[in-house]
Amino acid sequence: MSDPPSIPQVEPWLGEEEAIAASKVIATNWISEGPNCAAFSERLRDLIGTPYGVFAPNGTLALALALMALGLGPGDEVLIPDITFIGSANAAIMVGATPIFVDVDSNTYQISLSHADALITPRTRAIMPVHLYGTACDMEAVQAFAMRHALKIVEDAAQGIGVFYRERHVGSFGDAGCFSFFSDKTVTTGEGGYVACRDPGLHEHLRFLRNQGRQNAGSFVHPMIGYNFRITDVQAAIGLVQLSKLDKIIARKREIHAWYQQDLAELSGVRILAAAPNSTVVPFRCVLLAPRAHELMTFLSQRGVQSRSIFYPMHRQPCFAKWFDDKPYAPSLRDDDYPNAVAGYEHGLCLPVFPTLRRDQVAYIVQQIIEFYDRGTP
Ligand SMILES: *Cc1c(COP(=O)(O)O)cnc(C)c1O
């Protein structure tokens, strides 16, 4: 038998154009924030549809910066879905706030507002809807919920570039919308993040916080405490090229997603996570909800296909069990309080959808999945 192929979970789509753009920046002898950052930011604002935005070194720090600029800190609680990448929760901890985990919807796996409702305390100050796996949370409902409880909204749109909810780009609904340009995201600059916002005062605050508490470089008089959240112009030059390919990237991802749907249509008992209501989808991964998902992942790995589980529920994270052990306020860490998140973790697995994935590779992956179920219980 020939060696099985080796299909990774993700692969960025970089080429000659990105290489040329990066070397052009180096040739100018100015690689710190400069004209490419200004241009990339302008394009991002056009796409997202907010008048303002600032860069951060990565998505996690974009979230932390947004929370900080909104005044979130010790004693404040932030509602965060139990199923997300841990960076969402760690950003809250980084600013001294308490992440309160919220179960997810059993159909969309996005934050469940009915569960959130039961978790409101006098300390609840913000909600962080996460647009998970490339489709949007129900932002109309989130906005109504936030209004009712006087909460700030920080959208975690790290996986949401190109995703629209009721014709509006995600990240434009909340007080702040945060994005990531890590290498597995739809648009990548290696590392990188962005905070989009509508309020000029918040924008001003974000600018001071990210640049050592001053408006512009060159002055050593600092009216405020601030930090360094800057990026480089090389990253922005790469980002500009990536954004110019966005339509192609999205089309490829959707095409690949459709291949999976087509090839798996006959297989009973499995479901592919679809676009949430009123939202488009730019598949971040192909999320398959299937019986014996973890066994299937092992089987796929033996066949040369890298799959991943759905994100491990926050309430089960060993780091949080330790962290909340001696804290006065803490989220519940009991499985019983997060039935949908637990079911999602048990049944969900992520299949690759990166733009360079080929038709024959998807056919191969699906063939392995079908074979796994045909074999039945080992
Ligand atoms: C990637 C990601 C982050 C963190 O972004 P980084 O750039 O890796 O720090 C946060 N939340 C979600 C949902 C993500 O997918």
Q: Output the furthest CA–CA distance in the chain (Å, rounded).
A: 70
**CATH class of the domain at 16-244:** alpha beta
Contacts with 234 (C-beta within 8 Å, 6 or more apart), sequence order: 22, 25, 26, 31, 36
Calpha distance 215→341 (Å, rounded): 43
Residues lining ligand 1, Cβ inside 6 A: 58-60, 84-85, 87-88, 130, 156, 158-159, 180, 182, 193
Mean pLDDT of 294-308: 97
Mean pLDDT of 146-150: 98
Q: Which tens digits make up the pLDDT trace of 310-350?
A: 999 999 999 999 999 999 999 999 999 999 999 999 999 99
> What is the number of the ligand 1 atom nearest to the C-alpha of 192?
7
Q: Which tens digits make up the pLDDT trace of 209-262?
A: 999 999 877 888 999 999 999 999 999 999 999 999 999 999 999 999 999 999
Q: Which tens digits make up the pLDDT trace of 61-83?
A: 999 999 999 999 999 999 999 99
Of these residues, 24, 152, 185, 253, which one is catalytic?
Answer: 185
Structure tokens that stand for 285 in this block:
């991964």
Alpha helix (H) residue ranges in 127-245 = 139-148, 200-210, 233-244
- Asked if 16-244 and 246-375 have one fold, the answer is no
Nearest alpha carbon, ligand 1 atom 1: 158
- Among 18-22, 170-174, 278-282, 374-378, the range scoring the smallest mean pLDDT is 374-378
Nearest alpha carbon, ligand 1 atom 10: 87
311 CA → ligand 1 middle, Å: 12
Q: pTM of the full predicted structure?
A: 0.97
Please give the share of the chain, as a percent, with pLDDT higher than 70.
99
157 CA → ligand 1 middle, Å: 8
What is the enclosing helix (H) or strand (E) of 60?
Answer: helix 59-69
pLDDT of residue 264: 96
pLDDT of residue 4: 75
pLDDT of residue 2: 62
Alpha helix (H) residue ranges in 167-302 = 200-210, 233-244, 246-264, 293-302
pLDDT of residue 156: 98
What are the boundaries of each domain within the chain?
16-244, 246-375
pLDDT of residue 5: 87
Main-chain phi, psi angles of 182, to 5 degrees: -65, 165
pLDDT of residue 86: 98
pLDDT of residue 48: 98
87 CA → ligand 1 middle, Å: 6
Flag whether pLDDT at 26 surpasses 80. yes
Flag whether pLDDT at 377 surpasses 70. no
Q: Which tens digits make up the pLDDT trace of 166-182?
A: 999 999 999 999 999 99
Main-chain phi, psi angles of 230, to 5 degrees: -80, 165
371 CA → ligand 1 middle, Å: 34
pLDDT of residue 361: 97
67 CA → ligand 1 middle, Å: 15
Calpha distance 366→362 (Å, rounded): 6
First to last CA, the chain: 21
Mean pLDDT of the chain: 96
Flag whether pLDDT at 378 surpasses 60. no
> What is the number of the ligand 1 atom nearest to the C-alpha of 61?
9
Does residue 273 come out as left (phi exceeding 0), alpha (psi in the -120 to 50 range) or beta? beta
Per the annotation, the verdict on 24 as an active-site residue is no
Mean pLDDT of 108-134: 98
pLDDT of residue 145: 98
Mean pLDDT of 144-158: 98
pLDDT of residue 217: 76
> What is the number of the ligand 1 atom nearest to the C-alpha of 87?
10
Flag whether pLDDT at 52 surpasses 70. yes
Mean pLDDT of 149-175: 98
Flag whether pLDDT at 105 surpasses 60. yes
Structural fold of domain 246-375 = Aspartate Aminotransferase, domain 1 (3.90.1150)
> What is the number of the ligand 1 atom nearest to the C-alpha of 191?
7
CA distances from 119 to 93, 324, 339 (A): 18, 17, 15
